[in-house]
Amino acid sequence: MPELSTILAGAACAAIGSAFPAILFEKALREGKRAKVNMALGLASIFSSFVLLTAAQLAVYRFASEKFFAFGCAMVAFFLLIWAVEAIRAWKSANGGASGPEERKERK
């Protein structure tokens, strides 16, 4: 598959772009209301993620425009996959780790 390196580069950029917001998210998930995560730090992490991912897309468009579509699709797909996993973890945490109402009744 000749596009494998392009797809892997897109996945790596998505992982790097998601790292700082994900670290803050994990800290907030683990520590709950005691977490030392403030709004400014969260906004800075999201802004830095946006800038990094946009710069990566611009670089690929500028220097390897024939690989732009594959790179962009891979980057977006892996970015959304990372945040889908985080959203599922947050949902489970918010619901006490139970997957349904039957399990919550059994715990009580």
Query: Cα(22)–Cα(98) distance, rounded to whole angstroms?
Result: 23
Local structure of 35: helix, strand or coil: coil
Local structure of 108: helix, strand or coil: coil
Q: What is the pLDDT along the chain (108 residues), one digit of tens a residue?
A: 568 999 999 999 999 999 999 988 888 888 777 777 788 888 999 999 999 999 999 999 999 999 999 999 999 999 999 999 999 988 988 888 655 454 445 555
pLDDT at 104: 45
Q: Whole-prediction pTM value?
A: 0.79
pLDDT at 30: 82
Query: Cα(11)–Cα(75) distance, rounded to whole angstroms?
Result: 5
User: How many CA within 13 A on the CB side of residue 37?
Assistant: 20
Which residues 6+ apart lie within 8 Å of 73 measured at CB?
10
pLDDT at 47: 96
pLDDT at 103: 47
pLDDT at 45: 92
